[in-house]
Amino acid sequence: MNHKQSKQRTRLLEMLRNHYGHLSAEQVYNKLKEEDKRISLATVYRNLNLLAEQNKINKIEHPTVGSMYDGREYPHYHLHCEACDGLFDIQGLYLNELNDKVETQMKARILTHRIVFEGICESCLKKGSNVDGHLT
């Protein structure tokens, strides 16, 4: 399929690139609507899926909220805080060699991998949250 360039897709990508952190489709939609009321949620979903397939953005399955997106261009892992439900980037820890290892072991072809760490983020630790029993 040949893709044309659309204002909506361009703005969406630009917005994600300039936004640090993770956004849901709905949040992306709301942010874009601030500039142009006429954009639709369907378009946001269509473009998020397209850009994620093209690896121009990252799609992360958030354990409780649905899919989240970020515009980082380098591969990275995520920390999901069970207390505040936040999603945090983990920098400088991408294990390239893992793909080869699994490729050999599974006799498969590995394209990429994702890691999500589960725990309590720095800020929640300071607050002394005890997270509905997980930590008690």
Partner DNA sequence: TTGGATGCAAAGGTTTTGCAGTAAT
Partner DNA sequence: ATTACTGCAAAACCTTTGCATCCAA
**Which residues of the shown chain bind a copy of itself in the complex (CB under 8 A)?**
53, 61, 63, 77, 79, 81-82, 88, 90, 92-93, 98-99, 101-103, 105-122, 125, 134-135
| Terminal-to-terminal C-alpha distance of the chain | 53
47 lies in the binding site for DNA (CB under 7 A): yes
Residue among 7 and 133 whose Cβ is closer to a copy of itself: 133
Residue among 37 and 107 whose Cβ is closer to DNA: 37
CB crowding 40-54: b at 16 or more within 10 Å, else e: eeebbeebbebbeee
d(CA 87, CA 83): 11
CB crowding 97-110: b at 16 or more within 10 Å, else e: eeeeeeeeeeeeee
6 lies in the binding site for DNA (CB under 7 A): yes
Could you say which DSSP state residue 23 is in?
A: E
Contact with DNA (CB under 7 A) among 15, 65, 102, 131? 65
Residue among 14 and 63 whose Cβ is closer to a copy of itself: 63
Amino acid, res. 119: G
45 lies in the binding site for DNA (CB under 7 A): yes
Give contact residues for DNA (rule: CB under 7 A).
1-9, 24-26, 36, 38-43, 45-47, 49-50, 65-67
